[in-house]
């Protein structure tokens, strides 16, 4: 077991006592920091940055040095898994990810391979190893992957969408294809997360970014069973499940074999605690737009959030990723406020 100077995140995740609430932010390694933008410029593009282990490691560590967060999260993208399975994507400025080829038939699913992380995703594993060396135990490192349903959305739709109606259509018109694709993604994701852990990740998070577009029934059929498989397979480190918009599945999430449940800002804290139960750590859930407010407003909203969650079995975070045009000083104000109000 490696010795960490700051293991607040891991202790909170495991439900152990902590002197103060740990804090980190989704998308903390990114466009809010001018230092990130400088490295991105040097890399040339998002994908070139994500696939260059040295540069990816550099931007992973920036928030630890600049913002004082209690964890680093590896700089990568959830769409590296479809790519490793044989479905490459491009990232278009101001448009987002585009898949030149999409999954349209069972033959397309059969052509996909189960990702081999040591080969297909070696650049992520190399970045993790560099980060671990350079952090030298200062804070834990979070690894992550997209949830199978969220990845299916992109692989069938071919790009971002508000409704993902094309992807959802497949659930109703071709359930056999949908389950076959979800299972292949799940198998790839388990191998990938285990490889991240072997490379040094101390905790892993599953991002189900598009959970909220499903009906409760569809979520129980097409998302939860696959997240369950991943949670059951990862026994080495704590697991966090963040399903944005899946307020209807909180009770089921309480039964998942994971340590932490992430909440978005629409999920009431007391209600969530009741539905999820007392044996899970909760993470979240400040509205990212709070960080556009004055320092006083940020401090006030952070205190309200901490009072609602309590100081144990809790990891402070936003209810979604930090927005790219947020002032880093406001972000620092939030992190400092958690450290102040979250001390015992």
> Which residues are the active-site residues?
27, 31, 40, 77, 154
Tell me if residue 92 falls in helix, strand or coil: strand
**Left, alpha or beta for 135 (phi > 0: left; psi -120 to 50: alpha)?**
alpha
For the stretch 298-321, what's the b/e string if a residue is b when 16 or more beta carbons lie within 10 angstroms of its beta carbon?
bbebbeebbeebebebbbbbbbbb
The whole-angstrom separation of Cα 186 and Cα 21 is 32
Of the CA atoms within 13 Å of residue 314, those in its CB half-sphere come to 26
Q: What does the DSSP assignment read for 178-230?
A: HHHHHHHHHHHHHHHHHHHHHHT-SEEEEEETTGGGS-HHHHHHHTHHHHHHH
Q: What residues pair up with 242 in beta bridges, in sequence order?
A: 207, 262
Cβ proximity of 149 and 182 under 8 Å: yes
The C-alpha angle with vertex 181 and arms to 52 and 147, in degrees rounded to 5, equals 55
User: Would you say 23 and 339 are in contact if contact means Cβ atoms under 8 Å apart?
Assistant: yes
Instruction: Classify residue 202 by burial, with Cβ atoms within 10 Å: 0-12, 13-18, 19+.
Output: buried
Coil/strand/helix, residue 172: helix
C-alpha 82/C-alpha 79 separation (Å) is: 6
From 117, 114, 189, 181, select the one nearest 147 (Cα to Cα). 189
């Amino acid at each position: 077991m490696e010795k960490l100077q700051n293991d607040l995140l891991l202790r909170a995740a495991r439900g152990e006592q902590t002197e103060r609430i740990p804090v980190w932010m989704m998308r903390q390694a990114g466009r809010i920091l001018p230092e990130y933008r400088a490295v991105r410029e040097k890399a040339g593009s998002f994908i070139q940055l994500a696939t260059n282990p040295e540069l990816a490691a550099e931007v992973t560590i920036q928030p630890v040095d600049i913002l004082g967060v209690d964890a680093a999260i590896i700089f990568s993208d959830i769409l590296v898994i479809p790519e490793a399975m044989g479905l490459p994507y491009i990232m278009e400025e101001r448009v987002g990810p585009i898949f030149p080829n999409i999954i349209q038939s069972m033959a397309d699913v059969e052509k996909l391979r189960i990702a081999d992380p040591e080969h297909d995703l070696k650049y992520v594993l190399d970045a993790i190893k560099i980060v671990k060396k350079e952090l030298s135990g200062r804070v834990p490192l979070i690894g992550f992957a997209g949830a199978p349903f969220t990845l299916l959305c992109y692989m069938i739709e071919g790009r971002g969408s508000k409704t993902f109606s094309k992807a959802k259509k497949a659930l109703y018109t071709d359930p056999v294809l949908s389950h076959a694709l979800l299972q292949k993604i799940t198998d790839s994701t388990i191998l990938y997360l285990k490889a991240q852990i072997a490379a040094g990740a101390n905790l892993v998070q599953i991002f189900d970014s598009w959970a909220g577009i499903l009906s409760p029934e569809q979520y129980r059929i097409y998302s939860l069973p696959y997240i369950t498989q991943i949670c059951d397979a990862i026994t080495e480190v704590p697991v966090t499940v963040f399903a944005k918009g899946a307020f209807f599945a909180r009770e089921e999430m309480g039964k998942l074999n994971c340590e932490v449940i992430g909440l978005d800002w629409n999920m009431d804290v007391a209600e969530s605690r009741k539905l999820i139960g007392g044996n899970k750590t909760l993470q979240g859930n400040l509205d990212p737009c709070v960080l556009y407010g004055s320092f006083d407003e940020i401090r006030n909203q952070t205190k309200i959030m901490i009072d609602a969650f309590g100081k144990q079995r809790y990891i402070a975070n936003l209810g979604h990723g930090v927005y790219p045009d947020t002032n880093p000083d406001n972000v620092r104000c939030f992190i400092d406020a958690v450290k102040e109000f979250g001390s015992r």
